[in-house]
Amino acid sequence: MAASDVTEETFEREVVERSREVPVIVDFWAAWCGPCRALGPVLEREVESRAGAVELAKIDVDANPALSAEHGIQGIPAVKGFRDGRIVSGFVGVRSPVGVATFVDELLAPPRLEGALDELRESGELPDVLSALEAGDEDNALRLILEAIRDATPADRERHRDLAVAIFDHLGQDDPVTVAYRRQVAAALY
């Protein structure tokens, strides 16, 4: 599938909504940008090689300044990976073909929280946290993790930290729950 040219008018549908079905890579670029012209074909080849598992959207920053501002684009090429309606990864500048492949692999990998939930189910550890997460109550899960950190061994503290980070990744770095708990988790750990 070829890359689609996305505009301010089509962004919500072609990127945000579409990313709820399949990950979407957004390439912020400009025709006058040499590095953009070098990166574009690498992104296109990598996406094409994934046979529909991921899509590529291209946004001309000159023609879509509001989108560029909204996403904090200060340098190009800038690449953002969208999944489930939000940005989950990104980079600025040119990357090698191997670097682009790694970026796409990471975007297509199952979310960290899924793996963490599987580990909790297998180990039987932190059943209250597991219940809260399965109910979609990340706030309560993080509160329970904070309580568990206080009395944990160093190895357990590290696992609890990893679980909290997986929840933060799931929610997004700007989510109010993430913002509220990130400092508390750091303070409890250090």
The catalytic residues are 33, 36
Cα–Cα distance measured from residue 3 to residue 55, given in angstroms and rounded to the nearest whole number: 7
80's tokens: 């953002």
The residues pairing with 142 across neighbouring beta strands, listed in sequence order, are none
154 CB-contact burial (10 Å; exposed 0-12 / middle 13-18 / buried 19+): exposed
170's tokens: 């799931």
Tokens 């012209």 correspond to what residue?
A: 37
Bridge-based pairing state of the strands 55-60 and 78-83: unpaired
Bridge-based pairing state of the strands 4-5 and 24-29: unpaired
